[in-house]
């Protein structure tokens, strides 16, 4: 389920790997630009990758991803500068990093990127000379991640699995779980798996969809209002499944974790005030977010909860 187990989709041998794992990203250029196969850490992922129906509702996210890679790949590979959402996704990353700044590990640190996708955070950590273990349940995303990561400064390995079924790893200094715990089958199990891989003193940097702001954002799923009203879980069969959180449900989920920071965010970027705010650079975005966060009417209408926490014990 890691690069050492990879074979090309055509069955031929993958390029030789540098010493590792993890592997120097500068020496992975030969891996960029081709499809490869890995043994999945969760056996259900193989069928989903091949287009079969989801065996449980949360895995419908992967059914929707498989179709989107065919119909709208330009939106999914947003690290490509030509992607229509490239600037917005980099702005969103900058917003996360701004709030996480005091908790971000330095160069040489080990980072576990859960739900790494095409490498939004993996590439940033590699550029800061970190070792990154990138995990994602969508193999097509890992293909693009490797393409974007190759040639950068840090070291990398990739794992095709779910957040609940993580590989055995050397302890990491930080786990990034941006927009992950709202999409997994069992968020408590995913948290426990992350905690087991964080060294003492390490940190979890995460975010989840916020219940109030999600329903009024531009990309809210049509015809899902009743489900949102009932329990905050939105399911579009064959397309997506989302668990939205209010503050109490998020605090209950984190339980014994030491909560270092909890910030309501994404009022404008990807949030309900996005259209009204218009295009913003980071300094202006931070000012707008702060004003909306303090406004008595706007305060509850944030798209996301952003947090930093240390595992119990």
Digit-coded pLDDT (tens) for 144-199: 999 999 999 999 999 999 999 999 999 999 999 999 999 999 999 999 999 999 99
Percent of the chain topping pLDDT 70: 100
Instruction: Say what angle helices 247-254 and 187-195 make with each other, to 10 degrees.
Output: 40
Structural domain count of the chain: 1
Domain span at residue 116 reads 40-310
Tell me whether residue 250 is in a domain: yes
Tell me whether residue 293 is in a domain: yes
Band the pLDDT of 11: cuts 50, 70, 90. Answer: confident
Band the pLDDT of 33: cuts 50, 70, 90. Answer: confident
The answer to whether the peptide bond before residue 191 is cis (omega within 30 degrees of 0) is no
Residue-wise pLDDT for 250-276, tens only, equals: 999 999 999 999 999 999 999 999 999
Residues 6 or more apart in contact with residue 242 via CB below 8 angstroms: 182, 183, 209, 214, 221, 233, 234, 235
pLDDT(1) > 80: no
The percent helix, strand, coil of the chain (3-state, each to 5) is: 35, 20, 40
Residues 6 or more apart in contact with residue 56 via CB below 8 angstroms: 185
Band the pLDDT of 233: cuts 50, 70, 90. Answer: very high
Give the pLDDT of residue 298. 97
Tell me whether residue 125 is in a domain: yes
The strand pairing partners of 304, in sequence order, are 209, 265
Give the pLDDT of residue 10. 82
Six-digit token string for 260: 């270092």
Tell me whether residue 299 is in a domain: yes
CA 302 to chain centre: 19
How many whole angstroms separate alpha carbon 286 and alpha carbon 292?
Answer: 10
Give the pLDDT of residue 123. 98
Cβ proximity of 119 and 144 under 8 Å: yes
Tell me whether residue 16 is in a domain: no
Cβ proximity of 284 and 291 under 8 Å: no
Cβ proximity of 100 and 308 under 8 Å: yes
How many whole angstroms separate alpha carbon 238 and alpha carbon 150?
Answer: 33
How far lies 13's CA from each of 4, 34, 49, in Å? 11, 12, 21
What mean pLDDT comes out for the span 211-227?
90
Give the pLDDT of residue 43. 96
| Burial of 50: CB neighbours in 10 Å, binned 0-12, 13-18, 19+ | exposed
- Secondary structure of 62-117 as H, E, C letters: HHHHHHHHHHCHHHHCCCCCCCCCHHHHHHHHHHHHHHHHHHCCCCCCEEEEECCC
pLDDT(12) > 90: no
Give the pLDDT of residue 313. 78
What mean pLDDT comes out for the span 239-259?
96
Band the pLDDT of 133: cuts 50, 70, 90. Answer: very high
Give the pLDDT of residue 186. 98
Give the pLDDT of residue 65. 96
How many whole angstroms separate alpha carbon 187 and alpha carbon 189?
Answer: 5
pLDDT(37) > 80: yes
State the CATH number of the domain containing residue 125.
3.40.50.150
Give the pLDDT of residue 221. 87
307: part of which helix (H) or strand (E)? Answer: strand 304-310
Cβ proximity of 272 and 216 under 8 Å: yes
Residue-wise pLDDT for 100-127, tens only, equals: 999 999 989 999 999 999 999 999 999 9
How many whole angstroms separate alpha carbon 313 and alpha carbon 224?
Answer: 40
Average pLDDT in the chain: 95
Residue 228 in 3-state DSSP? helix
What mean pLDDT comes out for the span 219-226?
90
pLDDT(9) > 90: no
Tell me whether residue 175 is in a domain: yes
């Amino acid at each position: 389920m890691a690069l050492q187990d990879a074979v090309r989709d055509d069955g031929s041998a993958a390029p030789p790997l540098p010493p590792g794992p993890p592997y120097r990203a500068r020496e992975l250029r030969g891996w960029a630009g081709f499809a490869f196969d890995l043994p999945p850490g969760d056996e259900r992922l193989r069928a989903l990758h091949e287009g079969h129906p989801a065996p449980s509702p949360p895995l419908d996210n992967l059914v929707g991803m498989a179709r989107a890679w065919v119909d709208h790949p330009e939106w999914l590979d947003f690290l490509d500068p030509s992607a229509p959402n490239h600037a917005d996704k980099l702005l969103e990353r900058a917003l996360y990093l701004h709030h996480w700044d005091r908790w971000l590990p330095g160069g040489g640190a080990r980072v576990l990127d859960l739900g790494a996708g095409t490498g939004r955070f993996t590439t940033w950590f590699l550029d800061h000379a970190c070792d990154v273990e990138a995990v994602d349940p969508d193999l097509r995303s890992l293909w693009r991640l490797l393409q974007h990561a190759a040639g950068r400064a840090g070291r990398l390995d990739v794992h095709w699995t779910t957040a609940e079924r993580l590989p055995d790893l050397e302890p990491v200094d930080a786990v990034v779980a941006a927009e992950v715990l709202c999409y997994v089958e069992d968020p408590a199990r995913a948290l426990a798996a992350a905690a087991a891989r964080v060294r003492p003193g390490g940190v979890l940097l995460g975010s989840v969809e916020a219940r109030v702001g999600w329903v009024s954002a531009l990309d809210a799923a049509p015809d899902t209002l009743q489900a949102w009203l009932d329990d905050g879980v939105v399911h579009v069969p064959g397309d997506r499944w989302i668990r939205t959180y209010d503050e109490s449900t998020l605090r209950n989920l984190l339980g014994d974790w030491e909560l270092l920071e909890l910030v309501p965010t994404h009022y404008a970027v990807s949030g309900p005030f996005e259209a009204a705010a218009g295009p913003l650079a980071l300094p202006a975005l931070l000012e707008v977010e702060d004003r909306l966060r303090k406004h008595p009417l706007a305060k509850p209408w944030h798209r996301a909860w952003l947090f930093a926490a240390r595992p119990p014990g």
